[in-house]
Amino acid sequence: MTGASGVPPHGPPKVVRVLGLDPGTRHFGWGIVDRIGTRLRHVAHGIVSPKDTLPLGERLVIIEEGLVAVVEEHGPTGASIESLFFAKDASAAAKLGHARGVGLLVVSRAGLECGEYPPARVKRTVAGGGKADKNQVAQMVRVILGLTEPPKADAADALAVAITHLQQMPLLAQIVKNNVSLRRVSAKR
């Protein structure tokens, strides 16, 4: 039902724009997804890929500059990032931690709240199983967002993180509304 102006009587649906981040020092994926009412809409996605030959510090600067440009261009209202998982290679895990820190710094400086989700939860949300491979995630992101082709793996993962955050937001809002402790909820799992 719409009013005389063609707008629903309760106003236009609220748009929530989330930046999803898939950290990496060689390929740092990002994706922007809007939620308009209950619909999800793809806005943009990409990968910041510094040259492998650059020292780690220089790669992190390039990642930071790329993410700042994305935030400035697309104006997200929130952000989400994959949480760290235990890797067999301590050096790779440390580098991933550095890249993740850059992502958290950029969104914090932009004043955005940032949700953090383990890779298995992201996979469960978009592909139905926590052990889905990168191709399955990319294909499901394509279907969910109505894309003509699946995005490259790092961008698909970032879009999947944004989708996960947008799917979790109504639940989190209800928890806050009901004044339920998040620690109590997570302790029961």
Predicted confidence (pLDDT) per residue in 67-79, tens digit: 999 999 999 999 9
Of 34, 64, 154, 157, which residue is the catalytic one? 154
The reply to whether 154 belongs to the active site is yes
Q: Which of 27-31, 38-42, 94-98, 152-156 has the lowest mean pLDDT?
A: 94-98
pLDDT-derived band at 96 (thresholds 50, 70, 90) equals confident
Q: Is residue 125 part of a domain?
A: yes
| Residue 2, in any domain of the structure | no
**pLDDT digits over 117-142, tens only?**
999 999 999 998 778 889 999 999 99
Q: List the CATH number of the domain containing 53.
A: 3.30.420.10
Q: Is residue 141 part of a domain?
A: yes
Q: Are 30 and 99 in contact (CB under 8 A)?
A: no
Sign of the alpha-carbon dihedral angle for 7, 35, 128, 116: negative
Lookup result for tokens 């063609």? 6
Q: How many domains does the chain have?
A: 1
pLDDT band, residue 177 (cuts 50/70/90): very low
- Of 34, 64, 82, 157, which residue is the catalytic one? 82
Q: Which domain holds residue 63?
A: 15-187
Catalytic-residue membership of 82: yes
DSSP class of residue 19 equals E
Domain-embedded: residue 6: no
Q: Is residue 159 part of a domain?
A: yes
- Asked whether the predicted pLDDT for residue 184 surpasses 50, the reply is no
Residue 9 domain-assigned? no
Residue 5 pLDDT > 80: no
- On whether residue 8 sits in a domain, the answer given is no
Is residue 55 pLDDT above 70, yes or no?
A: yes
Q: Is 89 a catalytic residue?
A: no
Q: Give percent of the chain above pLDDT 90.
A: 67
Report whether pLDDT(30) > 50.
yes
- How many percent of the chain have pLDDT more than 70? 81
In a domain, 51, yes or no: yes
What does the pLDDT read at residue 189?
Answer: 45
| Interatomic CA distance for residues 134 and 130, integer angstroms | 11
Strands (E), 49-176: 78-82, 114-117
Q: End-to-end alpha-carbon separation of the chain, Å?
A: 41
pLDDT reading at 80 higher than 60:
yes
Q: What pLDDT was estimated at residue 108?
A: 96
Residue in 22, 34, 64, 157 annotated catalytic: 22
